Structure 1
Amino acid sequence: MLRKIESKNMGKSDLGWLQSTFHFSFAEYYNPKNINFGVLRVLNDDLIEPQTGFDTHPHRDMEIISYVVQGSLTHGDSMGNRETLTRGQVQYMSAGTGVWHSEHNLGDNLLRLLQIWVLPDQKGYAPTYGDYRFAWSDRQNKWLPIVSGKNGEAPIKINQDVNFYVLELDQGKEINFSVESGRQAYVVQIEGSSQINDVALNARDALEVTEESITLKATERSHNMLIEMKKS
């Protein structure tokens, strides 16, 4: 089963320094029919102006993934980590029993990132932080696994049975993905456009896939993320 979610129907926020598109209920956007998709609780598409960002604030009991689309993201936290990531790179944080962190755009250009929260498989983990600087070429015309559960294939491991993949597909090319029985996936059209089976996606649209094989064809150069998980 496929269900398309158009970007124009998602939650929106404009704070001046921060413009956000909310795939699920978050902050001032609340829709009781759109709280989560399985263990995927938050997916925010954020645009952050230069020399601004999220000042130090707390989290707990959440697996947090940030995927940089453009610009540079500088992270700091109460565990002593401070790192700056750029396009296509990923940071992850298991908030666990509690952590304070900040996320800023200290560069001169607009920062775009996907901020993603996944519910952990249990509460009370020790907080952890890490990042991974994937080569851009590793996602060109193939699915690149970037995040998985502890027994998965991705270099980033989190405390949940979930698998993240990213892809940049050249115009006109096709690629397949099978969402097996008892599983579901959430596909984000980050940049460009594509046709997935009989569904057309434009930039910032999304697609829910439940127990179905898909063929993604790039109608123009297509940058996608796919998050696969147990069916809810």
Structure 2
Amino acid sequence: MLRVIDSGNMGSSNLGWLRSKFHFSFAEYYNPHNIKFGVLRVINDDLVESNTGFDTHPHRNMEIISYVVNGELTHGDSMGNKNTITRGHVQYMSAGTGVYHSEHNLGKDELRFLQIWIFPDKEDYKPNYGDYRFDWSDRQNKWLHMVSSKNGNAPIKINQDINVYSLELDKGKEINFQVNEGRQAYLVQIEGGAIINDIELNNRDGMEIVEEDILIKAKKTSHILILEMKKEN
């Protein structure tokens, strides 16, 4: 089963300094038929103006992943961490029993990043933070496995049975992705455009995939993220 989520029909917000597309219900956007997808609770596609950002605020019992598309993202938290990442890099945080953090664009250019929230496999883990600076070439025309469960083999491990992959596929090239029985995946067409099993996706669209293998054909250079997980009952 494949279902396209057109970016034009997503929730959105414009606060001036922050312009967002919401793949799922968030903030003032509420759709009772679009709360989550399996253990995936939030994907916000955020555009943040220079020298602005999210001031210190709390989180609890959520696995949080930030994936930078363009610009610089600076994270600070109550555990004493402060780091900046750029295009293709990832910050990850287990909020667990509770943590305060901030996210700012201290660079001169607009920041675009995907803010991803995932339910943990149990509550009240000890809070944890990390970041990983992947080489861009590691995702060119091949899947880069960035995130897995603690039992998986990705360099970033979180407290949930989920796998996160990124890809940049050159125009005209094709690649497969397997979604096995009992599994489902959510795809984000971050940049560019592609044909997926004869269905067209454009910049910032999403797609739900349930127990179905896909063939991706890049109609223009395509930057894609896939989150693969256990099928929701």
TM bin (shorter chain) = over 0.9
Q: Deviations over 1:4-25 (max 9, x none)?
A: 0100010000000000000000
| Gap regions ≥5 residues in structure 2 | none
Q: Deviations over 1:164-187 (max 9, x none)?
A: 000000000000011000000000
Q: Which residue of 2 aligns with 1:185?
A: 185
Q: Which residue of 1 aligns with 2:11?
A: 11
User: How far apart are the structure 2 equivalents of 1:225 and 1:117?
Assistant: 14
Q: Which residue of 2 aligns with 1:173?
A: 173
Deviation at 1:151, TM superposition (A): 1.1
Calculate the TM-score normalised by the size of structure 1: 1.00
In structure 2, give the amino acid aligned to 1:5.
I
- Equivalent positions of 1:56-75 (< 5 A) are 56-75=56-75
User: How far apart are the structure 2 equivalents of 1:178 and 1:136?
Assistant: 23
- Equivalent positions of 1:102-181 (< 5 A) are 102-181=102-181
> Identity rate of aligned residues, in percent?
72
Deviation at 1:74, TM superposition (A): 0.4
Q: Which residue of 1 aligns with 2:202?
A: 202
Deviation at 1:113, TM superposition (A): 0.1
In structure 2, give the amino acid aligned to 1:89.
H
Is 1:34 the counterpart of 2:34 in the alignment? Answer: yes
- Cα RMSD (Å): 0.4
- Equivalent positions of 1:80-95 (< 5 A) are 80-95=80-95
Deviation at 1:163, TM superposition (A): 0.2
SS in 1 for 2:220: coil
| Gap regions ≥5 residues in structure 1 | none
Alignment length (residue pairs)? 232
Runs (4+) off by over 4 Å: none
- Equivalent positions of 1:209-220 (< 5 A) are 209-220=209-220
SS in 2 for 1:217: strand
Deviation at 1:108, TM superposition (A): 0.6
In structure 2, give the amino acid aligned to 1:217.
K
User: How far apart are the structure 1 equivalents of 2:42 and 2:207?
Assistant: 15
